[in-house]
Amino acid sequence: MLRLWKPLIKRSKLEKVKLTLSSNSYDIFIGSGLLSDSELIGRHIGKKSVFIISNKSVANHYLDRLISSLSGFDFGVYLIPEGEQFKNLRTVEEIISVMIKKGANRTSTILALGGGVVGDTAGFVAAIFQRGIPFLQIPTTLLAQVDSSVGGKTAVNHEDGKNMIGAFYQPKTVIVDTDTLNTLPKREVSTGLAEIIKHGILADRSYFDWIEKNISKLLRLDSETLEYVVAGSCRIKAEIVSEDELETGKRALLNLGHTFGHAIETATGYSKWLHGEAVGAGLVMAADLSFRLGMCALDDAKRIKALVTDAGLPFAPPASLEEETFLRLMSRDKKVDETGLRFVLVNGGIGSAALVERVPIEKLRATLQARENLCSGV
């Protein structure tokens, strides 16, 4: 158990979390009003050429604020259409075409202003444009602030699988302006809570306990509570990534709930379920399978299901997703190796997880069949 979170105390305006790597270490800055901090943003941009990647809804709220902090910089803008279904190679090619027309070069810096789709896509463009240029993550959704902006995973989807085309490519920094959460729809708040709950399950039971007690504050966007949980989750993820940047071991634990969740997203065409909603159901399915394998007490599995539900997330996969389709889609998961399909499961209770190989097929099928009875002991 990592125990990386800190008791809630009176906070300073700016919180800084260090992500330490063998090379390309960087800071994660968390606080209110950071989009207007021209000095903070400017010192992480190399030359004068900047290319902003965002989407329309985020741009309507925050693009002008960011641009006002870029005095003296030359910049271009590309707005990705809304939705996970546009996180693909077609969008990447369109962005690169615009960058070339705008005169972007190897000294340019990409600013990713938005949620997970924007950050993942912009990061992948940065990784491949002219063999790699710097980029900054400026996440504006709860999910991106606590998870996808941190750690250097960049990718786009393929019609046959989530995040199948990508690279490990670290940003120069991550700048989290928690004021951007004030315009976040309730559904997007819930989807971010899925990743926060995941961090408690896999790394720190006391953090999970704290989330349970404060879930109502998080849902109503209490600013102090949100800043605290963003920093807490960033610390947990930064510690894990620092030990295993390229996911050859421990970092795989961050995929808890994602084998099930990615199958749900793929089956629904990346358009009906948000990522965090699929992960929420995936966490409950992982808890159920953990219980069936004797790795997790039923009471802990029930707590996981209850917290996912309290966060406003679905706890079961879509009824239309048939068992054989689920198995087929999971077999394409990136965690599949020569031993077959592997799952990250709760290991000994909330606060610890393990990567498990060769799960008995009858146990897996029982979880897939449980649906509404997940984590009920049936």
CATH numbers and ranges of domains, the chain: 14-183 (3.40.50.1970), 186-220+256-373 (1.20.1090.10)
Burial grade of 93 (CB within 10 A; 0-12, 13-18, 19 or more): exposed
- For 195-214, what is each residue's pLDDT tens digit? 999 999 999 999 999 999 99
- For 286-310, what is each residue's pLDDT tens digit? 999 999 999 999 999 999 999 999 9
The reported pLDDT for the residue numbered 4 is 54
What gap in Å lies between CA 207 and CA 109, rounded to an integer?
A: 36
Q: Is the pLDDT of residue 5 over 70?
A: no
Torsion (CA) 362, 365, 366, 367 in degrees, nearest 10: 130
- For 48-107, what is each residue's pLDDT tens digit? 899 999 999 999 999 999 999 999 999 999 999 999 999 999 999 999 999 999 999 999
Find tokens 């929420």 and name the residue: 280
Integer CA distances (angstroms), 5 to 140, 199, 220, 230, 238, in order: 22, 10, 21, 10, 12
Question: Which residues carry out catalysis?
Answer: 131, 153, 195, 237, 247, 251, 255, 258, 262, 275
- Of 4-8, 10-14, 300-304, 331-335, which gets the smallest average pLDDT? 4-8
Amino acid at 319: A
DSSP-assigned letter for residue 337: B
Residue 239 three-state SS: helix
Q: Is the CB of residue 82 less than 8 Å from the CB of residue 114?
A: no
Q: What H or E segment, with its residue span, contains residue 195?
A: helix 186-203
What are the contacts of 37-40 at 24+ separation with CB within 8 A?
37/69, 37/175, 38/68, 38/69, 38/70, 38/71, 40/175
Q: Is the pLDDT of residue 360 over 60?
A: yes
Q: Is the pLDDT of residue 11 over 80?
A: no
What gap in Å lies between CA 4 and CA 123, rounded to an integer?
A: 27
